[in-house]
Amino acid sequence: MPILKHFNKTALLGVVILAGCATPPPVEHGTSQPRSSDYQVKYHYALEAMKQEQLESAEPQMLALTREYPQFAGPWLNLCIIYSKTARFPEAENACQQALKQNGKMNAARNQLGIVYRNQGRFEDARNIYQMALQQNPEYARAHYNLGVLFDLYLQNNDLAIRHYQRYLDLTGNKDKKVKRWISQLNKELNKSR
């Protein structure tokens, strides 16, 4: 992502929003869902609509699930993802907060909330929520990835960006060639500045 530093801020925001849509986080299946077959069927269809990028269909389904089963975090998190993809960040923030209220250990909700904060320009809030996720689980790869992006593009700290990108690679089997290129570019920038 270092190459993106040369764009103006408006172009950068558009690229980041599009990038967020192009590589969405996995839909959350939830771990503490009710055993009701009615709920499971409804949730399955809502998740399938999300996987197919049919957000106009998935949104009312997830909303209905949050009304019928407000105590479960999965529908709230998926609603947050839908709102994020459609750039409705205040609604996304509320949905993520509801997911965390129902399941305070759900790092996927923290990660998504960090993305929401970042898209609102609330970089310190994003940093704090990603760090909270890592306090709970130091091996949570997505938080390391998103901290790398935050330090790289927004906070302009190449050392910390490299550290988090590298940790992300270590935790994911060192397979992400795109992130490897970013690290290489950041190292080149650091060497030029020394």
- Tens-level pLDDT at each residue, the chain (194 residues): 543 443 333 222 232 322 333 233 444 444 444 456 888 999 999 999 999 999 999 999 999 999 999 999 999 999 999 999 999 999 999 999 999 999 999 999 999 999 999 999 999 999 999 999 999 999 999 999 999 999 999 999 999 999 999 999 999 999 999 999 999 999 999 998 87
Residue 39, H or E segment: helix 37-51
Distance between CA 164 and CA 148 in Å, rounded? 5
Q: What is the pLDDT of residue 156?
A: 95
For residue 150, the 8-state DSSP code is I
Domain segments of the chain: what residues? 2-25+37-193
CA-based max dimension of the chain: 62
| Strand runs labelled E in the chain | none
Do residues 30 and 73 make contact, with C-beta atoms less than 8 angstroms apart?
Answer: yes
Q: What is the pLDDT of residue 100?
A: 97
CB atoms within 10 A of CB 57: 15
By the 10 Å C-beta count (0-12 exposed, 13-18 middle, 19+ buried), 48 is classed as middle
CB atoms within 10 A of CB 101: 14
Q: What is the pLDDT of residue 35?
A: 54
Q: What is the pLDDT of residue 163?
A: 98
By the 10 Å C-beta count (0-12 exposed, 13-18 middle, 19+ buried), 55 is classed as middle
Residue 48, H or E segment: helix 37-51
CA of 87: how far to CAs of 9, 17, 56, 92, 182, in Å?
17, 8, 14, 8, 26
Q: What is the pLDDT of residue 3?
A: 39
The class level of CATH for 2-25+37-193 reads mainly alpha
